[in-house]
Amino acid sequence: MTNKVGFFKRLKALNTAQKQLFALALCQRMYPNYQLFSEVTEFGDAKVLDTTLNLLWQGQYDKKLKLNIEMYIDRLENIVPDASDFDMYGVYPAQDAVSAVISLLSGIQSQDEEDMVNISKLSSSTVANYIEACIADTVSDSIKESELDDLIFNHEVMVEERELQSNLLDIIEKEPYAKAEFIKSLRKELVESGVSNIGISAEPDA
């Protein structure tokens, strides 16, 4: 969800490495959603997700690195929480965080760039669902769908999401052949911010 004209057209125009980097940055930003959920519920293993993300970052600039994608997809699928097992909202953004990385790995494996582009939509969907859950008690059941969409679109958390994705696209567009220093700097900035797309903060893994 972005209000910038031609956002997805520009995103789809990126080269494969740029698309991977854009998607990976969004995956990294979603990571605290799973990390905190795992800590609170003692379900799964955030280190599996963290390790996969670290290897994907390294693979952006170390072309000699070869990931066993099937193995990592299997490991990630084993830590996806089942919503029916948890009576808490946090299970949904946690699911999305793992699903995003699985989608990125699948896209790399199949060379299907649409999987990478769709991570932008998945991140925005996580935000939209979060906002809807937050405002559920303050809106009438009779509210029109178009009015609800407007509330979500104009909510400050969604505005921040659109701005971040737009700014991320701006800087990645300027780096068609991103060097290691640029990639490491981008990763460092996202990791050190420690704040997810829905405002979840979690301590960096040791």
Q: Residue 201 domain-assigned?
A: no
Instruction: Tell me if 162 sits within 8 A of 1, measured CB to CB.
Output: yes
Whose CA is closest to 96, among 148, 150, 49? 49
Write down how long the chain is.
206
Q: Residue 202 domain-assigned?
A: no
What does the pLDDT look like over 106-146, one tens digit per residue? Answer: 999 999 999 999 999 999 999 999 999 999 888 877 788 88
pLDDT confidence of residue 205: 57
Which residue range is the domain that position 95 belongs to? 8-193
What does the pLDDT look like over 154-203, one tens digit per residue? Answer: 999 999 999 999 999 999 999 999 999 999 999 999 999 999 999 999 77
pTM: 0.94
pLDDT confidence of residue 40: 96
CA distance 140 to 10: 38
Structure tokens, 200: 């979840």
What does the pLDDT look like over 55-106, one tens digit per residue? Answer: 999 999 998 999 999 999 999 999 999 999 999 999 999 999 999 999 999 9
Return the CATH number at 53.
1.20.1590.10
pLDDT confidence of residue 1: 44
Q: Residue 3 domain-assigned?
A: no
Q: Residue 146 domain-assigned?
A: yes
Q: Residue 107 domain-assigned?
A: yes
Q: Residue 203 domain-assigned?
A: no
Structure tokens, 32: 């605290």
Q: Residue 164 domain-assigned?
A: yes
Q: How many domains does the chain have?
A: 1
Burial state string for 133-148 with b = 16 or more CB within 10 A and e = fewer than 16 = eeeeeeeeeeeeeeeb
